[in-house]
């Protein structure tokens, strides 16, 4: 009986030992809405870390005034998705969180769904990371596939795939990404050479290399809000997602490196040609810079170079 009670207490502790990391960059509204939603949870009381990536719009002060009891980490420079989350991950591990949820500030996930994800991690020691289905506008995705091999890496979810059960995937999207702390301690932090885009796919690849697995729970869902387009942000995403494929191939496909470099050079040149034909100068310059930096191995934070190039 005593053993059963201790096991129950361990289960409850595991479910409640959750750190949630939310990045902020000049976007107080979305971050405040996100933290407000998380703060309303009743069964799980997560430790919430807002990591601000050197915002210039006073948003960290607004967030701090609104939520004086959460942890706000103010970076002096923009460390990107990888570096910003790493700061929060390290703090969460120092504070002995068993589970860590990376959550976009413009995403929403329900407490019951997170509880279910944590319970799966607790029951399945082989699973290092897990996430929900991801609804983006009218599209729904169920994880991703290898970014070194595929142009469209999103796995589209359809009702015929079912609304329950778990599905092994090559990577769990970083929009809502739950990982056990011991997995981070085993495989390491996010690779900051990616800066923005591709770092989660890289982490999941290292998880598999360590003999662990990644899953999507089809019975859970997160909603990623679709905002109006931002030209600079869209072009930055295009730049990093294209450039970082070369980094991923360099790290994980050494034997096929030149073959896959050829694939992505050809793909980039095709995209570049199409952009030129359609008179899209911004996208054309973005693809050209991504191609040059990817092939020559210029990785990490290139925001200033990118903006100057445009």
Neighbours of 113 (CB within 10 A): 18
Whole-number pLDDT of residue 162: 83
Q: What secondary structure does DSSP assign to 170-226, as a single string?
A: SB--TTEEEEEHHHHHHH-S--TTS-SSSHHHHHHHHHHHTT-EEEEEEEEEEEE--
Q: In the listed set 224, 246, 275, which residue is the last one of a domain according to the structure?
A: 224
Whole-number pLDDT of residue 287: 97
Domain count, the chain: 2
Whole-number pLDDT of residue 163: 84
Considering the domain architecture, whether residues 220 and 261 belong to the same structural domain is answered as no
Considering the domain architecture, whether residues 245 and 109 belong to the same structural domain is answered as no
Distance between alpha carbon 159 and the CA centroid of its chain, in Å?
Answer: 25
Phi, psi (deg, nearest 5) at residue 53: -95, 65
Considering the domain architecture, whether residues 16 and 151 belong to the same structural domain is answered as yes
Whole-number pLDDT of residue 15: 52
Considering the domain architecture, whether residues 271 and 304 belong to the same structural domain is answered as yes
> pLDDT tens digits for 136-162?
999 999 999 999 999 999 999 988 888
125, two tokens:
């020691």
Q: Percentage of the chain with pLDDT > 70?
A: 94
200 lies in which domain range?
Answer: 2-224
> pLDDT tens digits for 88-104?
999 999 999 999 999 99
> Can you give the pTM of this predicted structure?
0.93
CB 79 within 8 A of CB 53: yes
Question: In angstroms, rounded to a whole number, what is the distance separating the alpha carbons of residues 208 and 224?
Answer: 26
Whole-number pLDDT of residue 1: 45
Whole-number pLDDT of residue 228: 53
User: Higher confidence at residue 20 or residue 306?
Assistant: 20
Considering the domain architecture, whether residues 108 and 212 belong to the same structural domain is answered as yes
- Give me the CATH number covering residue 88: 3.90.550.60
Q: In the listed set 201, 224, 247, which residue is the last one of a domain according to the structure?
A: 224
Question: In angstroms, rounded to a whole number, what is the distance separating the alpha carbons of residues 190 and 84?
Answer: 10
3-state secondary structure of 48: strand
Considering the domain architecture, whether residues 33 and 155 belong to the same structural domain is answered as yes
Considering the domain architecture, whether residues 72 and 23 belong to the same structural domain is answered as yes
User: Higher confidence at residue 207 or residue 14?
Assistant: 207
At a CB cut-off of 8 Å and minimum separation 6, what does 151 contact? Answer: 267
Give the mean model confidence (pLDDT) for residues 172-197: 97
Considering the domain architecture, whether residues 244 and 98 belong to the same structural domain is answered as no
3-state secondary structure of 53: strand
In which region does residue 49 sit, left (phi positive, over 0), alpha (psi from -120 to 50) or beta (all else)?
beta
In which region does residue 211 sit, left (phi positive, over 0), alpha (psi from -120 to 50) or beta (all else)?
left
Considering the domain architecture, whether residues 220 and 235 belong to the same structural domain is answered as no
Whole-number pLDDT of residue 104: 97
Q: In the listed set 192, 224, 256, which residue is the last one of a domain according to the structure?
A: 224
Whole-number pLDDT of residue 160: 82
Give the mean model confidence (pLDDT) for residues 237-250: 97
Whole-number pLDDT of residue 8: 40
Neighbours of 287 (CB within 10 A): 26
Considering the domain architecture, whether residues 62 and 184 belong to the same structural domain is answered as yes
Considering the domain architecture, whether residues 192 and 59 belong to the same structural domain is answered as yes
Give the mean model confidence (pLDDT) for residues 252-263: 97
Considering the domain architecture, whether residues 132 and 269 belong to the same structural domain is answered as no
Whole-number pLDDT of residue 10: 52
Question: In angstroms, rounded to a whole number, what is the distance separating the alpha carbons of residues 262 and 266?
Answer: 6
């Amino acid at each position: 009986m005593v053993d059963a009670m201790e096991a129950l207490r361990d289960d409850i502790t595991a479910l409640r030992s959750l750190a949630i990391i939310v990045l902020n960059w000049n976007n107080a509204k979305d971050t405040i809405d996100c933290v407000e939603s998380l703060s309303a949870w009743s069964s799980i009381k997560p430790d919430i870390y807002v990591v601000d990536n050197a915002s210039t719009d006073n948003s960290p002060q607004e967030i701090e005034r609104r939520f004086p009891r959460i942890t706000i980490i103010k970076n002096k420079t923009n460390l990107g998705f990888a570096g910003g989350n790493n700061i929060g991950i390290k703090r969460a591990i120092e504070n002995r969180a068993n589970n860590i949820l990376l959550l976009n500030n413009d995403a929403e996930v329900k407490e019951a769904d997170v509880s279910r994800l944590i319970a799966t991690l607790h029951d399945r020691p082989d699973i290092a990371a897990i996430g929900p289905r991801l609804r983006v506008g009218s599209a729904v995705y169920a994880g991703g596939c290898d970014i070194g091999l595929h142009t469209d890496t999103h796995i589209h979810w359809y009702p015929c795939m079912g609304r329950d059960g778990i599905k092994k995937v090559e990577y769990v999207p970083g929009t809502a990404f739950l990982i056990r702390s011991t997995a981070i301690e085993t495989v390491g932090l996010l690779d900051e050479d990616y800066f923005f885009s591709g770092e989660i796919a890289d982490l999941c690849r290292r998880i598999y290399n360590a003999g662990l697995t990644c899953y999507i729970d089809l019975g859970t869902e997160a909603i990623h809000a679709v905002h109006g387009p931002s030209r600079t942000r869209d072009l930055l995403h295009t730049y990093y997602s294209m450039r970082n494929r070369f980094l991923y191939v360099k790290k994980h496909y050494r034997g096929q490196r030149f073959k896959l470099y050829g694939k992505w050079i050809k793909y980039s040149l095709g995209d570049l040609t199409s952009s030129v034909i359609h008179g899209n100068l911004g996208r054309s310059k973005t693809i050209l810079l991504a191609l040059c930096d990817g092939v020559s191995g210029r990785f990490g934070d290139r925001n200033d170079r990118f903006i100057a190039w445009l």
